[in-house]
């Protein structure tokens, strides 16, 4: 479904990615692992169009993504969450999730002029889709709350909901459990698995928690200093001697 072939990216004299290759099959949960600064988020930013690779090729369902802008990549069926919560403060949970529908919205002055005959029907359809996601992720109790007043674990769930509102076929989760306690982590794992099953998703999961990666991922690739140091079935990859050395030393 997604293939990265010898992807390289650098910033001045810093080589963030060096000849990174991986492939993700439809329907799997694929783990992307590595210490801080290993290039995980840079790779995701290359896939989603924020930092196009300077060398190599990225393909999604046959489409080459190298010079495609982020909003076009979103319309192709890739959605993501961010490492740091990137919600819109001052807006409700419902409105933040509704923003995930932007790739399907076609505003125009004419539609606004004839709102009751034209735009209202489209708005109701978008809201119906958002309500389905709110039910799936059990956000009913906070749907009308300002997003900045709800706990961090709930905010991460709202980010997941906003990504799902875009109706992706591939979902990229950038450290969705960062800053969570054990109970919140378990809830998030359950919601990721529920969403994958209900919506037939392929998932690329960046995560530091090895227990999460080992529990739910089918395969994984491990980066260190921008290079692939291990790849394969998840338990085999995370137990590789080079991975252990990268995390805790020789």
Per residue in 82-133, pLDDT (tens digit) is 888 889 999 999 999 999 888 776 666 666 666 656 667 777 888 889 999 9
**Residue environment code for 74-110, b if the CB has 16+ CB neighbours within 10 A, otherwise e:** beebbbbbbeebebeeeebbbebbbebbebeeeeeee
Question: What pLDDT sits at residue 112?
Answer: 62
Please check the confidence at residue 26 and state whether its pLDDT lies above 90. Answer: yes
pLDDT per position as a tens digit, 188-241: 999 999 999 999 999 999 988 788 899 999 999 999 989 999 999 999 988 888
pTM of the model: 0.88
d(CA 53, CA 66): 6
CATH of domain 1-77+168-250: 3.40.50.300
Please check the confidence at residue 35 and state whether its pLDDT lies above 90. Answer: no
Ranked by mean pLDDT, which of 6-10, 12-16, 34-38, 111-115 comes out on top? 6-10
CA distances in angstroms from 211 to 103, 189, 216, 230, 232, listed in the order given:
35, 11, 9, 17, 17
Between 79 and 184, residue with greater pLDDT: 79
Mean pLDDT of 153-176: 93
Instruction: Name the β-bridge partners of 206.
Output: 32, 174
Sign of CA dihedral 164, 72, 148, 36: positive
Instruction: Name the β-bridge partners of 24.
Output: 2
pLDDT confidence bin for 152, thresholds 50/70/90: confident
Question: What pLDDT sits at residue 118?
Answer: 61
Mean pLDDT of 136-160: 92
Question: What pLDDT sits at residue 183?
Answer: 87
Mean pLDDT of 145-170: 93
> Quick one: 59 exposed, middle or buried, by C-beta within 10 A (0-12, 13-18, 19+)?
middle
> Where exactly are the structural domains of the chain?
1-77+168-250, 91-165
Please check the confidence at residue 246 and state whether its pLDDT lies above 90. Answer: no
Please check the confidence at residue 29 and state whether its pLDDT lies above 90. Answer: yes
CA-based Rg of the chain, rounded to a whole angstrom? 19
pLDDT per position as a tens digit, 41-96: 999 999 999 988 999 999 999 999 998 999 899 999 999 998 888 899 999 999 99
For residue 211, which phi and psi values (nearest 5 degrees)?
A: -65, -35
- Runs of H (alpha helix) within 48-168: 70-76, 93-98, 109-113, 119-136, 152-165
Question: What pLDDT sits at residue 205?
Answer: 95
Provide the pairing of β-strand 227-233 with 219-224: antiparallel
Question: What pLDDT sits at residue 2?
Answer: 96
């Amino acid at each position: 479904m997604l293939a990265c072939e010898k992807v390289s990216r650098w910033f001045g004299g810093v080589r963030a990615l060096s000849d990174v290759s991986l492939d993700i099959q439809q329907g799997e949960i694929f783990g992307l692992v590595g210490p801080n600064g290993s290039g995980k988020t840079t790779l995701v930013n290359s896939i989603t169009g924020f930092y196009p690779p300077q060398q190599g090729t990225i393909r999604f369902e046959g489409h080459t993504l190298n010079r495609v802008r982020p909003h076009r990549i979103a319309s192709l069926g890739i959605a993501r969450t961010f490492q740091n919560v990137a919600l819109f403060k001052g807006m409700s949970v419902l409105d933040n999730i509704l923003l995930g529908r932007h790739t399907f919205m076609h505003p125009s002055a004419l539609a606004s002029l004839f709102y009751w005959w034209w735009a209202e029907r489209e708005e109701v359809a978008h809201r119906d889709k958002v309500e389905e996601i709110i039910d799936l992720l059990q956000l009913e109790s906070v749907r009308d709350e300002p997003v900045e007043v709800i706990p961090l674990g709930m905010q991460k769930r709202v980010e997941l909901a906003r990504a799902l509102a875009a109706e992706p076929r591939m979902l990229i989760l950038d450290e969705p459990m960062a800053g969570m306690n054990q109970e919140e982590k378990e809830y998030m794992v359950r919601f990721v698995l529920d969403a994958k099953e209900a919506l037939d998703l392929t998932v690329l999961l960046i995560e530091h928690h090895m227990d999460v990666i080992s529990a739910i991922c089918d395969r994984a690739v491990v980066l260190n200093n921008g290079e692939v140091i291990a790849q394969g079935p998840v338990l085999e990859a995370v137990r590789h001697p080079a991975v252990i050395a990268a995390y805790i030393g020789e």
